[in-house]
Amino acid sequence: MKPVKSLIRRSPVVITPKESLIQAAEMLAAESIGALVVIDPVTQKKPLAVLSERDIVRAVAMKMPLSTPVEAFMSPGLVTIEEDEDVCKAAKLMTMHNIRHLVVVNKQGELVGVVSIRDVLKELGEKC
């Protein structure tokens, strides 16, 4: 089976914790993606969390101002996978944690990319 890094199709789209929900929503829409990686504003390489469309919907449902910082709604408990791990492991992690986006890191824990459930299913579907 292929390494998970082979599924990465583009550079990750990132945001910092202090940026606003409206900035996040604009980025998601402009990039046609479902999640942003929240990164450490100092190193710009270390992923801290994921902010998904679902997180923004939750904020809107709570009637939060769109000026609210991303850090208030980013998903806690970041799940990552190292870039050389197998695609099957990615599928297991996504299923185990009920997530649709998995952050890919290198051995130093630095952001490499993101794979979506669609990426993983497409790869596994070719094997079925």
pLDDT of residue 128: 54
Distance, CA of 46 to CA of 40 (rounded, Å): 5
- Domain 4-126 class in CATH: alpha beta
Query: In the chain, where are the structural domains located?
Result: 4-126
Bridge partner list, 20: 69
Give the integer Cα–Cα distance in Å for 62 and 65: 9
Q: Which two tokens stand for residue 11?
A: 């550079």
pTM: 0.91
- Of 72, 29, 31, 26, residue with least CA distance to 49: 72
Strands 101-105 and 47-52: unpaired
34: its two tokens: 């479902």
Per-residue pLDDT tens digits for 71-128? 999 987 899 999 999 999 999 999 999 999 999 999 999 999 999 999 999 888 866 5
Query: Mean pLDDT over residues 53-68, rounded?
Result: 95
Contact 58, 11 (CB under 8 A): no
pLDDT in tens, 10-36: 999 999 999 999 999 999 999 999 999
